[in-house]
Amino acid sequence: MKFETAEEVAIVLLRTFKELDQLATTIRAGTSEEEFADYGRAVAHAIGNLDYQILAKIYREHPGLEKRDTGLHPPEMNAN
């Protein structure tokens, strides 16, 4: 993947992770613990798949991107 494309994809993914993390917070506030376990797991799964299958590959191909501080960082989700 070209560097410029990789950079744009990485930024979009990091923004998406932030949005999904906020979604999980919203879900947690409006559901029971049991419901949140299911929804939270789905959100964490989505983030994990995108991180592993796309972002990690980009960072391996363009290690300098991972070290850039965009102000965006993958959330640390705790689905349980």
Number of C-beta neighbours around residue 51 at 10 A: 16
Contact by Cβ (8 Å): 51, 20: no
pLDDT band at 68 (very low <50, low <70, confident <90, very high): low
Annotate 17-29 with b (16+ C-beta within 10 A) or e (fewer): beebbeebeebbe
What would the pLDDT profile of 39-63 be if each residue is shown by its tens digit?
999 999 999 999 999 999 999 999 9
Please state, in angstroms and as integers, the Cα–Cα distance from residue 16 to each residue in 22, 32, 35, following that order.
10, 25, 22
What would the pLDDT profile of 4-14 be if each residue is shown by its tens digit?
999 999 999 99
Share of the chain above pLDDT 70, in %: 84
More confident residue, 63 or 66: 63
Q: Does pTM surpass 0.85?
A: no
